[in-house]
Structure 1
Amino acid sequence: MSGHSKWATTKHKKAAIDAKRGKLFAKLIKNIEVAARSGGGDPAGNPTLFDAIQKAKKSSVPNDNIDRAVKRGSGAEAGGADYLALTYEGYAPGGVALLIECLTDNKNRAVAEVRTALSKNGGSMGESGSVAFMFNRKGVVIVPKKQPGDDATEDSLLEVVLDSGAEEVNDLGESFEIVSEATDLVAVRESLQAAGVDYDSADSSFLPTVEVPLDKEGAKKMFRIIEALEDSDDVQNVYANGDVPDEVLAELEAED
């Protein structure tokens, strides 16, 4: 789903400088708290926490906020919430499948906000299992093409990560997306670090196995419903199987 991947990467960069910055920070901090609670507060022994911290730093979250989140999550400091991880399934207009991951301290509020965001934007909730089979859990590392030394190329990255379990390298325009099995994510990330390659994020994500081709109007509707969902403080990630052609994506970006 190159179109959605490119859009998501661009949107993430914009979020760091626009009015949604505070909301992005809150979601990244929540990821750190949950990772520290489940695997301990030492990033060296907790790869999930390490990646959550790196992602927060790349998005300019202040170090003090990161440190306090680690302490709250690990129990070294009071005030941490007991977040519940939930996954909802739904549809955007045009039959686009949606997987919605939440971290919340109030299940009733989370499901109500997800249902409202879907229904107000032409979507609907799905039964459990109705769309999950259309996605596979994968490891995804985003690497900017601009590097401190030589710029990254598809061949140079493949040379670094192929033996670590990487399955493919996709060109997203200003960056590359390295896809692996979720269990190989840490090995791929460590290979990049050992080679001195800078990366923006390393996440366990859901990638679609079946895609729905979208025209401009269909893409607009999908992005609108994703943004409405992500506007909820309880929603951490939204995955969609809409396939947006490069030329349509370029038109939409020009309109922003």
Structure 2
Amino acid sequence: MAGHSKWANIKHRKGAQDAKRAKMFTRITKEIQVAAKEGGPDPESNPRLRLAIQNARSVNMPKDNIKRAIAKASEAGGDSYQEITFEGYGPGGVAVFLECMTDNNNRTVSAVRSIFNKRGGSMGTNGSLSFLFEQKGVFQIVKNDDMDLEALELELIDAGAQEIEMEEELVIVTTAKEDFGSVQKKLDQLGVQVENAGLQRVPNTYKEADLNTAKKFLRMIDDFEDNDDVQNVYHNLDMTDELAKSLESE
């Protein structure tokens, strides 16, 4: 299970380093709008919306922004986003899985294909890489001095947690997709502050790459993350300690 922990840690560190407030708000706003349009504007009866609002609050999105996003989803003729995914390979044969939300499918397909081509990758057909990634629930929990970590761990394992990783400031919990709801409910019951939560695509296997290839690959990932239609980017680059140190020293 160590690979899942390593992946979650890398994902968190990269997210902290690359966070761009406006872009983060844009992506969360889209998620709120899609969730509200799909399941209604009441978070009490709409789990997806409740989760989106929780994630919005964790990045300090103003309440007015959240309310506007929910209201906009109810407007006639408002933005209508389609959820689409893309799969492919980058330099060195490293696998890439993209989750997008778009109001213009042709624009998004063209942009994604252009990035793959520009950065020496290749776009595959949908489903071609599904065996390389598994959807899992991932929770990032903020530690505090009053928290009984041992008791929390036992509670979460009982609720269905597969893996619990202790970091300096966070506890990262990984669950099977089908256990996401039960772990989320348990955290709500315990009153535990969650910094971020959601279903994410965790690699089943990792691909090694030398420093030069890894740098080329990560430039492609940056291009994808800079695109407003791209919500989430997943890949299976094996970020070894040696590679991480080499990249940090660049």
TM-score (norm 2): 0.89
Q: Provide the residue aligned with 2:96 in structure 1.
A: 98
Alignment of 1:1-256 (within 5 A): 1=3, 2-16=5-19, 20-73=20-73, 75=74, 77=75, 80-144=78-142, 146-147=143-144, 149-150=146-147, 153=149, 155-171=150-166, 174-253=169-248, 255=250
How big is each residue's C-alpha offset from its partner over 1:120-150, in whole Å with a ceiling of 9 and x where there is no partner? 2221111222212211111111123x32523
CA distance in structure 2 between the partners assigned to 1:174 and 1:52 by the alignment: 22
Query: More deviation in 88-97 or 245-254?
Result: 245-254
CA distance in structure 2 between the partners assigned to 1:177 and 1:3 by the alignment: 10
**Percent identity, aligned pairs only?**
41
CA distance in structure 1 between the partners assigned to 2:179 and 2:22 by the alignment: 32
The alpha carbon displacement at 1:241 in A equals 1.3
The alpha carbon displacement at 1:249 in A equals 2.5
Unmatched runs of 5 consecutive residues or more in structure 2:
none
Does the Cα contact within 8 Å between 1:3 and 1:245 map onto a contact in 2? no
CA distance in structure 1 between the partners assigned to 2:240 and 2:141 by the alignment: 21
3-state SS of the aligned residue for 2:84?
strand
3-state SS of the aligned residue for 1:43?
coil
Q: RMSD between aligned alpha carbons? A: 2.1
How big is each residue's C-alpha offset from its partner over 1:94-116, in whole Å with a ceiling of 9 and x where there is no partner? 11111111100100100111111
| Count of residues in Structure 1 that have an aligned counterpart in Structure 2 | 247
The alpha carbon displacement at 1:231 in A equals 0.9
CA separation of 1:168 and 1:3: change in aligned 2, threshold 3 A:
closer
CA separation of 1:93 and 1:157: change in aligned 2, threshold 3 A:
farther
3-state SS of the aligned residue for 2:233?
strand
CA distance in structure 1 between the partners assigned to 2:8 and 2:56 by the alignment: 19
Does the Cα contact within 8 Å between 2:160 and 2:183 map onto a contact in 1? yes
Does the Cα contact within 8 Å between 1:142 and 1:176 map onto a contact in 2? yes
